Amino acid sequence: MSSQANIDSILKENRMFEPSAAFSSTAHIKSLEEYQRIFKEAEENPDAFWSQIASELHWFRKWDQVLEWELPWAKWFVGGQLNISYNCLDRHLSTWRRNKAALIWEGEPGEVRTYTYQQLHSEVCKFANVLKSLGVQKGDRVAIYMGMTPELPVAMLACARIGATHSIIFGGFSATALIDRINDAQAVAVITQDGAYRRGNEVKLKPAVDEALAACPSVKTVVVYKRTDAEMKMKWGRDHWWHELMENASDDCPAEPLDSEHPLYILYTSGSTGKPKGLLHTTGGYAVSTYLTAKWVFDLKDEDVYWCTADIGWVTGHSYIVYGPLQNGATALMYEGAPNHPAPDRFWQIIERHKVNIFYTAPTAIRAFMKWGEQYPRKYAMKSLRLLGSVGEPINPEAWMWYREMIGRGRCPIVDTWWQTETGAIMITPLPGAIATKPGSATKPFPGIIADVVTKQGDSVPAGSGGYLVIKRPWPSMARTIYGDPDRYVQQYWSEIPGVYFAGDGARKDADGYFWIMGRVDDVINVSGHRLSTMEVESALVAHPMVAEAAVVARPDDIKGQGIVAFVTLESGNASADELKDELKKWVVKEIGALARPDEIRFTDALPKTRSGKIMRRLLREIATSGEAKGDMTTLEDFSVLAALREDEE
């Protein structure tokens, strides 16, 4: 953060939607007054608040102290012992939920499998015994590189059951990305599959593992789940078939009592240095936060079918496909493939077929649905839906309204959630029965989370001003460190702004205390001394009826310091033209002012994105500035998008 200045906020949004009386009457948190009371209690006595929530879970030994805090090092539920696999599975087996669906899975080719809590427990115990038979012990690191099949949560929960720390690597990363992550964690085993299905094609996974392991001496064992039946090379003594090992495995494997601070998982996220950083999450605090946020934010009920569309390779999948929902005894849906295969109505078909009640997806996906056209969702009634959620990046008001009207049919509240890999669980969000929503705002902090918008010096900014989004107190699911690099953890998250957690996002707080996330502060553009959020300029562009998606970046400008370059994808059927470029520039001026007028607009069929759907603005900045993109590209989904942008440049 080179500039001391605050971020200018120029986006104005006045629409507001109250929760319906019918929704509020059955919600876990029923009114604004109830939210305010709970929030105040949690703020004034956090130990009592978190202690009460933690006691809803199963502990082998109760904690001696709720929090031990020595900035920036936290220990939660000190002295307590629990097992998150036990809390996801065993604790439901003594109730009627043992015969309830825990996971419903749909493969891209169309097959469906359902696991009750009892069946999932049995599979997890068997695979935990498989791991033990292969010599995997408590404290070992296990890399999991799989597609979206039920065997992935089985592998996670089996690791957690025996106290092995899992490191899930998204099943689309290259061998190079695998090498970095496996070696950093010194993983002793890799769990993978022959391949997975994506847009009708087979994504080969095992060959990437074979390539990577030539440079990963710590790995002794590979377990391969057979999904696509492709021809595979198996290395004798190292590689084992999942189904063969499971055949004779016992389904009796008591969960290991683990210290509350026992490392549950490492999750790697791209680092600005090009070296991925492994965020380490521990067991007790993470269990408590994911349990409570899943329950209150999604207003989970026993009869709900809940679908989070994220990949389990990302933190959203860890927290809100597996650990959060299963601790609540919910029914979680998993889908293997792409949203537009075999046609752009696949998601709506799944919602209709499985009678999904809660749907949690990313703004990027929503903008793709908008681009594909409303004829696809209109084919389906989707009457089962009662709550919609958004995750991954700030959602622009236009996409929020489309989501509300086209998918929710005007009756479903939207929970727009702000959180990060580092936070482990949702931090700022509406509670859907209690908090009125505004299109594009994540609304208010979750009880127990003390958030603020501040200057570089740490002073709160006035309502309506932009600044740096910080969390002022520790919370249970916070990452404990960057694995193997504690200095980097302190430097990156606790040193920029004195005494508080800052992870790089800008925001503003309005007069009602609502938070508006403005995106990464390194995505801020400095125009003639004014610091503008790229997200706000993008929102203005997407509000134009012909625009499906936009990404805005800065490039050096001799006069203004920085100029604005907008990469724009049009709605299908709209041809790009020079006149439209002028019209869009005028449109931005009309929407948010002359200061935000783009210097250049480039039309493109697609934007470079990570495999979790986030736009890689860093690469666009490099193209806008030099015509070439360099740096870490391991998370880029489609390299042809970059090639097309480079050609346009030439």
448 with 593, same domain: the answer is no
- Please report whether residue 509 resides in a domain: no
Q: Are 385 and 359 in contact (CB under 8 A)?
A: yes
Sign of torsion over alpha carbons 148, 152, 153, 156: negative
* Confidence (pLDDT) at 635: 65
488 with 623, same domain: the answer is no
- Please report whether residue 83 resides in a domain: no
pLDDT tens readout for residues 577-604:
778 998 999 988 887 777 788 999 999 8
491 with 537, same domain: the answer is no
pTM for the structure as a whole: 0.87
pLDDT tens readout for residues 334-388:
999 999 999 999 999 999 999 999 999 998 899 889 989 999 999 999 999 999 9
456 with 547, same domain: the answer is no
Domain containing 637: what range?
A: 521-649
CA-based nearest residue to 270, from 539, 572, 612: 612
Q: What region, left, alpha or beta, does residue 355 occupy, with left being phi > 0 and alpha being psi -120 to 50 degrees?
A: left
Euclidean distance between CA atoms 527 and 529, whole angstroms:
5
* Confidence (pLDDT) at 555: 87
Rg of the chain taking only CA atoms, in angstroms:
24
Element (H, E) at 101: strand 101-106
Q: Are 199 and 341 in contact (CB under 8 A)?
A: yes
Q: What is the CATH number of the domain that holds 580?
A: 3.30.300.30
- Please report whether residue 433 resides in a domain: yes
Euclidean distance between CA atoms 336 and 342, whole angstroms:
13
DSSP 203-241: EE-HHHHHHHHTT-TT--EEEEE-SS-------TTTEEE
CA-based nearest residue to 362, from 611, 539, 18: 611
* Confidence (pLDDT) at 4: 44
- Please report whether residue 492 resides in a domain: yes
| Contact residues for 296 (Cβ-Cβ < 8 A; gap 6+) | 28, 29, 431, 446
* Confidence (pLDDT) at 531: 63
CA-based nearest residue to 374, from 569, 545, 581: 545
Euclidean distance between CA atoms 267 and 173, whole angstroms:
14
Q: Give the total number of structural domains in the chain.
A: 2
- Please report whether residue 72 resides in a domain: no
Last residue of a domain, one of 470, 500, 530: 500
465 with 605, same domain: the answer is no
Euclidean distance between CA atoms 17 and 437, whole angstroms:
5
Euclidean distance between CA atoms 152 and 355, whole angstroms:
24
| Contact residues for 336 (Cβ-Cβ < 8 A; gap 6+) | 105, 106, 107, 108, 147, 148, 149, 196, 197
Q: What region, left, alpha or beta, does residue 645 occupy, with left being phi > 0 and alpha being psi -120 to 50 degrees?
A: alpha
Count CA atoms closer than 13 A to 518's CA, side-chain side. 30
Q: For residue 291, give Cα distances in angstroms to 81, 304, 516, 587, 612.
A: 17, 16, 25, 44, 23
Element (H, E) at 645: helix 639-649
CA-based nearest residue to 260, from 87, 420, 123, 447: 87
Indicate the SS3 state at residue 414: strand
Last residue of a domain, one of 434, 465, 500: 500
* Confidence (pLDDT) at 3: 40
293 with 402, same domain: the answer is yes
70: burial class by Cβ within 10 Å (0-12, 13-18, 19+)? exposed
Q: For residue 319, give Cα distances in angstroms to 287, 357, 401, 474, 493.
A: 9, 19, 26, 18, 21
Q: What is the CATH number of the domain that holds 357?
A: 3.40.50.12780
495 with 630, same domain: the answer is no
Q: Which amino acid is at 253?
A: C
- Please report whether residue 511 resides in a domain: no
- Please report whether residue 393 resides in a domain: yes
Element (H, E) at 603: strand 600-603
CA-based nearest residue to 269, from 181, 365, 380: 181
266 with 399, same domain: the answer is yes
453 with 539, same domain: the answer is no
- Please report whether residue 134 resides in a domain: yes
489 with 587, same domain: the answer is no
367 with 482, same domain: the answer is yes
Last residue of a domain, one of 469, 500, 531: 500
Which positions of the chain have pLDDT values less than 70?
A: 1-11, 270-274, 528-531, 575-576, 611-612, 630-637, 642, 646-650
434 with 351, same domain: the answer is yes
Ordered strands of the 501-509 beta sheet: 451-454, 466-471, 501-509, 515-520
Q: Which amino acid is at 295?
A: K
DSSP 242-297: HHHHHHT--S--PPPPEETTSEEEEEEE--TTSS-EEEEEESHHHHHHHHHHHHHH
3-state helix, strand, coil in the chain (%, to 5): 35, 25, 40
Helices (H) and strands (E) in the chain, counts: 22, 30
